[in-house]
């Protein structure tokens, strides 16, 4: 990423000359286009694009550049969003017992692959507390009982107090209520194995093993009120061989989950996703 710049995401009805008009606006103000990714949905006549603009040479203030784009945006009947570079996204991670996805997030953040500030790790079990302590990140135990409302209200309060921009469910084994999904629409990411709905419930890997499945994988998606039916960001798949045991399936599943979640977070925090109804338009890097 450039030290000083902007990311622009835009979608609008498709029409001739869109690329020229958008690029022309940047050029007219002496901005430098570092990246211009576009996609045209011909079936629905919609245009999607992600731009990265180096603003160091602008002939106007950055605020004026952003506000001035409104005239063009409205003329194109567009939705658009600017993000200043550099930035760091305030992120909370929700966990239960399993820690492989949490460790993957912490590792990627430590490497600097994703611009996030992990505000806290919130667990409905104590298992991941030592990992949070070792990483120097606050850990909040929020037990969720048969009446789930009080627990999720506590989680909501924590997220609000921490001004969280992104919530990551890193194998958080609780169904998030609709009202909380709505509060973080397009800002809550989940990961799970690909055996749903065929092998739901306990021991899905053993059930899949007994059925002789040949593929195993994991989807990373945005969370909606419809359980595990939100827009898919990324999916990873591995082939299962006849000699693989249940433990091998679990190992392969963990690898898929870690990879898909890491990519999903990366695409989100780098503003490489535009939501279009039930779909996520993704511009990979």
What is the model's pLDDT at position 196? 62
Count the domains in the chain: 2
Q: Are residues 62 and 99 in the same domain?
A: no
Q: Which helix (H) or strand (E) holds 3?
A: none
Task: Please tell me which residue in 99, 228, 255, 276 is annotated as part of the active site.
Answer: 228
For position 141, which CATH number holds? 3.40.50.170
Q: Are residues 73 and 184 in the same domain?
A: no
Are 147 and 274 in a shared domain? yes
Residue 21: φ, ψ to 5°: -70, -40
Between CA 190 and CA 196, with CA 191 as vertex, the angle to 5 degrees is 110
Domain stop point among 85, 112, 141: 85
CATH number of the domain that residue 13 is part of: 3.30.70.260
- Which helix (H) or strand (E) segment holds residue 282: the answer is strand 279-282
DSSP states along 115-129: -EEEEEEEESSSTTH
Provide the residue range defining the domain that includes 79. Answer: 5-85
DSSP assigned state of 172: -
Q: In what order do the strands lie in the sheet with 5-13?
A: 32-41, 46-54, 5-13, 79-85
- Same domain as 180, residue 69: no
Produce one character per residue of 118-128: b if its CB has 16 or more CB atoms within 10 Å, e if not.
bbbbbbbbeeb
Which residues touch 267 (CB under 8 Å, ≥6 apart)?
A: 233, 234, 273, 282, 283, 284, 285
**Does residue 228 have an active-site annotation?**
yes
User: Same structural domain for residues 105 and 170?
Assistant: yes
Domain boundary among 85, 100, 135: 85
Q: Are residues 211 and 275 in the same domain?
A: yes
Residue 197: its pLDDT value, please?
61
Residue 200: predicted pLDDT: 72
> Do 166 and 224 share a domain, yes or no?
yes
Structure token digits, residue 266: 């990366």
Q: What pLDDT score does 208 carry?
A: 85
Three-class SS state of 173 = coil
240 and 265 both lie in a single domain: yes
Supply the pLDDT for residue 275.
Answer: 97
Shared domain for 243 and 114, answered yes or no, is yes
Q: What is the dihedral of CA 156, 82, 108, 142, to 10 degrees?
A: 0
Query: Do both 172 and 81 map to the same domain?
Result: no
Say whether both 107 and 242 belong to one domain.
Answer: yes
Among the candidates 66, 85, 104, a domain finishes at 85
With a cut of 50, list the residues of the chain below it in pLDDT.
Answer: 1-2
b vs e for 196-218, b when ≥16 Cβ sit within 10 Å of the residue's Cβ? eeebeeeebbebbbeeebeebbb
The per-residue pLDDT for 94 is: 98
H/E element, 57: none
Residues 105 and 70 in one domain: no
CA 212, CA 192: separation in Å to the nearest integer? 20
């Amino acid at each position: 990423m450039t030290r000083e710049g902007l990311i622009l995401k835009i979608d609008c009805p498709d029409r001739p000359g869109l690329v020229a008009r958008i690029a022309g606006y940047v050029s007219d103000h002496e901005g430098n286009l570092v990246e211009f990714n576009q996609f045209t949905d011909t079936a629905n006549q919609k245009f999607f694009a992600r731009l990265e603009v180096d603003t160091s040479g602008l002939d106007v203030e950055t605020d004026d550049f952003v506000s001035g784009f409104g005239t063009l945006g409205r003329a194109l009947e567009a939705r658009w969003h600017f993000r200043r570079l550099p930035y760091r996204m305030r992120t909370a991670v929700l966990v239960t017992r399993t820690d492989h996805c949490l460790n993957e997030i912490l590792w990627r953040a430590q490497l600097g692959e994703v611009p996030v500030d992990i505000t806290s790790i919130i667990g409905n079990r104590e298992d991941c507390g030592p990992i949070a302590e070792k990483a120097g990140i606050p850990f909040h135990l929020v037990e969720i009982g048969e009446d789930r409302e009080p627990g999720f209200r506590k989680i909501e309060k924590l997220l609000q107090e921490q001004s969280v921009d992104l919530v990551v469910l890193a194998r958080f084994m609780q169904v998030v209520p609709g009202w909380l999904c709505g509060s973080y629409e397009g800002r809550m990411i989940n990961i799970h194995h690909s055996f749903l709905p065929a092998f739901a419930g306990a021991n899905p890997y053993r059930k899949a093993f007994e059925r002789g499945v040949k593929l195993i994988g994991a989807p990373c998606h945005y969370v909606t009120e419809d359980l595990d039916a939100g827009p898919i960001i990324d999916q990873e798949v591995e082939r299962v061989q006849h000699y693989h045991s249940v433990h091998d399936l679990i190992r392969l599943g963990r690898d898929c989950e870690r990879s898909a979640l890491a990519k999903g977070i990366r695409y989100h925090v780098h503003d490489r996703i535009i939501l279009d109804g039930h779909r996520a338009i993704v511009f990979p890097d």
